[in-house]
Structure 1
């Protein structure tokens, strides 16, 4: 497998890749640099935001959602105007981290104690104050989980009856059943911990296998539906953070990464790799 960086841009903390099939565009963020980025038609566009941003997801009505420290906002891509959609997590000192939309176009947002200073420096995490929230298209917020450390990975099965969700502080990926009332069943440990780094973001392929980025592990793990390691994909970056399937046939895997003390040349790049199985598509916010 040959890997390449899709742009010369290097993020301090690249995260949240999203592939928009209708426009064939890749969206992602640099949390520490407060940037939302889009690569479309070979052109990179950067939106500089006033706060740390953990996700950048297009909406069906033409604008996009950005998950900032103070709340979830709509971003007008032309004027750069921000409009508050909701404050999902009211706890002071928390920020958004993982965010994805389910097949119904509802945003799921995992939050955590803020660990990034005003200059982008690392701050210690001293409490498990995060939560998992679902934001419906009318901006209604439903709290689903409490007491989270570092939420990462949000993936649903085909039937929408189960969600994979990870907490990097535990080194573990979990499964939760989704009950009839929309609440989640008890966490079932599904994978981890593992010697190749900690679990970060993930993508699911058409066979139901999960491709999990391994922070400080320099690799992706492809995991079977039963939670076994199918293969290890070695990467030329120290801290891969997440991945998403894109391209015309959803066979290009885009991988975000972060800077590291090792200063590898590609640390912070978005990498692209062609794979032998297509992935599942991303869903826009339906509102």
Structure 2
């Protein structure tokens, strides 16, 4: 497996990679740098946001969603105009973190106490004030969980009956049953703390294995459907943050990363690696 950086861009806190199949484009964000980024046809484009941005997800109608500190906004990609869609989390002092769309095109957003200052500096986390919210195409917001520390990883089973969801403050990936009314059953521990860093974002491959980025662990863990370590993929960055399958056959794994005190040359880069199993596609927001 050979690794390479897809652009010369280096993020303070790269996150939220999304692969858009119809346009063969990679979307991601620099949360601390307040940037939404897209790589399409070899061209990198950046949209500067007025607030910290945790996700950048295209919509079926042609614009995109950005999850900012003050709410979820539509971004007109041509004019750069922002329009508020909804405020999912009304808790003051929180910000978005993890965000993905399920197979129905509904946005699931995990929030947390803001831990980033205006200059991108780290702030302490002193409370578990985060939550998990589902946003439908018509902007209806449904609260699902509360009392979260650092939400990370959102992946669904093929039949939509289970969701994998992590809390990095616990060092744990959980599994929730999705009930008939759309609510979540009580969590079960699916993969607990591991010596190779804390759990960050993840991607699922076609075999149902989860590739989990390990913050401060310098690697990805490929985990079996039953939560065992299948392999360790060593990385030239110390803080990988998330990953997504992309490319024409979904066999390229794109990995976002963050700056770190170790100051490795590729810290903050988006890495690409060809893998031997295809991944599952991303879903646009249905609205």
TM-score range, shorter chain: over 0.9
What SS does the aligned partner of 1:118 have? coil
Which residue is 2:127 aligned to? Answer: 127
What SS does the aligned partner of 1:60 have? coil
The CA deviation string for residues 171-194 of structure 1, in whole angstroms up to 9 with x for no partner, is 000000000000000010000200
What SS does the aligned partner of 1:160 have? coil
Write the distance in 1 (CA, Å) between the matches of 2:10 and 2:192: 29
**Offset, 1:20:** 0.1
1:81 aligns with 2:73: no
Give the alignment of 1:1-287 within 5 angstroms. Answer: 1-287=1-287
What SS does the aligned partner of 1:176 have? strand
**Offset, 1:120:** 0.5
**Offset, 1:26:** 0.1
What SS does the aligned partner of 2:110 have? strand
Write the distance in 2 (CA, Å) between the matches of 1:160 and 1:182: 10
Paired residues in the alignment total 287
What SS does the aligned partner of 2:66 have? strand
What SS does the aligned partner of 1:280 have? coil
What SS does the aligned partner of 1:19 have? strand
Write the distance in 2 (CA, Å) between the matches of 1:204 and 1:92: 33
The CA deviation string for residues 8-60 of structure 1, in whole angstroms up to 9 with x for no partner, is 00000000000000000000000000000000000000000000000000000
What SS does the aligned partner of 1:169 have? coil
Structure 1 portions without partners, runs of 5+: none
Structure 1 segments (4+ residues) deviating >4 Å: none
**Offset, 1:247:** 0.1
Write the distance in 2 (CA, Å) between the matches of 1:105 and 1:166: 21
The CA deviation string for residues 213-247 of structure 1, in whole angstroms up to 9 with x for no partner, is 00000000000000000000000000000000000
Write the distance in 1 (CA, Å) between the matches of 2:98 and 2:228: 23
What SS does the aligned partner of 1:263 have? coil
What SS does the aligned partner of 2:96 have? strand
Write the distance in 2 (CA, Å) between the matches of 1:32 and 1:192: 28
Write the distance in 1 (CA, Å) between the matches of 2:24 and 2:40: 7
Write the distance in 1 (CA, Å) between the matches of 2:139 and 2:255: 30
The alignment's C-alpha RMSD in Å is 0.2
**Offset, 1:206:** 0.1
Write the distance in 1 (CA, Å) between the matches of 2:120 and 2:265: 20
Write the distance in 2 (CA, Å) between the matches of 1:262 and 1:168: 21
Write the distance in 1 (CA, Å) between the matches of 2:118 and 2:206: 40
Structure 2 portions without partners, runs of 5+: none
**Offset, 1:112:** 0.1
